[in-house]
Structure 1
């Protein structure tokens, strides 16, 4: 069994390797923190033909109510039904730091990680949202929405 004196924390270990200053911060941040990332580098293209959402299913019931939204984590998109009765879709990945934390409320998209906000066109509405969100085209045919 190790005593307290025998245990070594990560910072002490890295310092003993000779990593100090900027190199220590680079190693530490690269291992434990999320770096700022351009959302365009993460959000891949949607499948050919787009993604469909059947409004008649229970899974997509929120899209039948103005202000409602659905998160598709498989394809990293958020689809919302605006208060003016149109459908909009954006990437789930926030442009501020690449977090997959976009939600929808009160006719705007919102990142729960750092408070970035975006309008229905994906344009940032505060400093954390200045990078905007990737948007997609939404078409409707009967009860089927297609996001492409």
Structure 2
């Protein structure tokens, strides 16, 4: 190979750059990774992961959970606990599976994310926008105390 041909050779990086890719998209293509949501749900695990979280509904902080349709957001454990009209108590992750935003709440007998309008049924199954279900946790009740197994 002569010096002229050697100078015309491009590295893969230079080729992609000349094709119009730039910034993060160039790195994604060059490194063979795909870009997804900005937050990894695994990074937002409950503070008590592996242990239980308890909520005594006889206290003012959790008393609203005694009412059907009410919910409580536990930001320390990234949970939303709801008193549903059909399944009793349900606990799901606060982190929406659509884009990893911590904006899940409980409205009109379903879980929803205020960021992009994703909705989920009382089992956490995605109804709109999101393609994956919310992570759900087992809830048990003894008297006025709810226990969520994380």
TM tier, smaller? 0.7 to 0.9
Q: Which residue is 1:89 aligned to? A: 91
Q: Which runs of 5+ in 1 are unaligned?
A: 1-17, 28-34
Q: TM-score, normalised to structure 1's length?
A: 0.73
Q: Considering only CA atoms, is the larger Rg found in Structure 1 or Structure 2?
A: 2
State whether residues 103 and 110 of structure 1, in contact with CA within 8 Å, keep that contact through their aligned partners in structure 2: yes
Aligned pairs (5 A) from 1:45-56: 46-56=48-58
CA distance in 2, matches of 1:145, 1:106: 22
Offset at 1:107?
1.1
Deviations 1:4-53 (A, max 9, x none): xxxxxxxxxxxxxx9x95323549xxxxxxx5157542342544431000
Q: Which residue is 1:13 aligned to? A: none
Count of aligned residue pairs for this structure pair: 123
State whether residues 71 and 77 of structure 1, in contact with CA within 8 Å, keep that contact through their aligned partners in structure 2: yes
State whether residues 39 and 93 of structure 1, in contact with CA within 8 Å, keep that contact through their aligned partners in structure 2: no
Offset at 1:137?
0.2
Aligned pairs (5 A) from 1:1-148: 21-24=20-23, 26=25, 36=37, 40-44=41-45, 46-84=48-86, 86-126=88-128, 128-148=129-149
CA distance in 2, matches of 1:23, 1:41: 29
CA distance in 2, matches of 1:26, 1:62: 47
Q: TM-score, normalised to structure 2's length?
A: 0.72
CA distance in 1, matches of 2:71, 2:61: 11
SS of equivalent to 1:63: helix
Root-mean-square deviation (CA), in Å? 2.5
State whether residues 67 and 81 of structure 1, in contact with CA within 8 Å, keep that contact through their aligned partners in structure 2: yes
Q: Which residue is 1:9 aligned to? A: none
